[in-house]
Amino acid sequence: MRFGILTISDRSSRGERADVSGQVIRDFAVNRLGAEVSAQAVIPDDFATIRDTLIEWCDQRSLDLILTTGGTGFSPRDVTPEATRAVIEREAPGLAEAMRAASLAITPHAMLSRAVCGIRGRTLIINLPGSPKAVKENLETIAPALPHAIQLLREAPEAEAGHNRD
């Protein structure tokens, strides 16, 4: 699985704050999912920059999965969901719903998440929160479904085996 980590943070992009959430994603994806990090960047909360980076990573780098962190809240600068919607061709609402539902069992603030998940071509894009703790909790929730999702997008023959019930 080839994936990208896109941290969206004005302060981190200016070097004023470490990208802790991006490192949490990297550790989780490499150690838990056995994924290969093919792209990683820290960019500001800017619609065009987010959109253009997602398009390049999907269309030119052909990544299987892009995990974004940050920009999913209520702040006026939080535009990650809007930029993601501008890029995706199909939404994958079940992933975002599962993350919100699991987070809601931990904090009422989960209902403020505007995270979006969707597909562009054969790339799955998942918006994660900016908090390192929330990133890990959300990844724990969706991790069991990610390998099968990537198999389906690749149209791998083994993907159909996941649909059979014994």
Q: Residue 163 — very low, low, confident or very high, per pLDDT cuts 50/70/90?
A: low
Q: Per 3-state DSSP, what percentage of the chain is helix, strand, and coil (rounded to 5)? A: 50, 20, 30
Per-residue pLDDT, 44: 97
Q: Which pair of structure tokens corresponds to residue 155?
A: 């149209």
Q: Residue 26 — very low, low, confident or very high, per pLDDT cuts 50/70/90?
A: very high
Q: What is the pLDDT of residues 51-107, one digit of tens each?
A: 999 999 999 999 999 999 999 999 999 999 999 999 999 999 999 999 999 999 999
Query: Diameter of the chain by CA atoms?
Result: 53
Name all domains of the chain by residue range, CATH numbers in brackets. 2-163 (3.40.980.10)
Q: Residue 136 — very low, low, confident or very high, per pLDDT cuts 50/70/90?
A: very high
Question: Across all residues in the chain, what is the average pLDDT?
Answer: 94
Per-residue pLDDT, 162: 56
**Global confidence as pTM:** 0.94
Per-residue pLDDT, 1: 86
Q: What is the pLDDT of residues 144-157, one digit of tens each?
A: 999 999 999 999 88
User: In a 3-state reduction of DSSP, which class is residue 95?
Assistant: helix
Q: Kindly provide the residue ranges of all beta strands, DSSP E only, lying in the chain, ordered along the sequence.
A: 2-8, 36-43, 65-69, 90-91, 117-120, 123-128
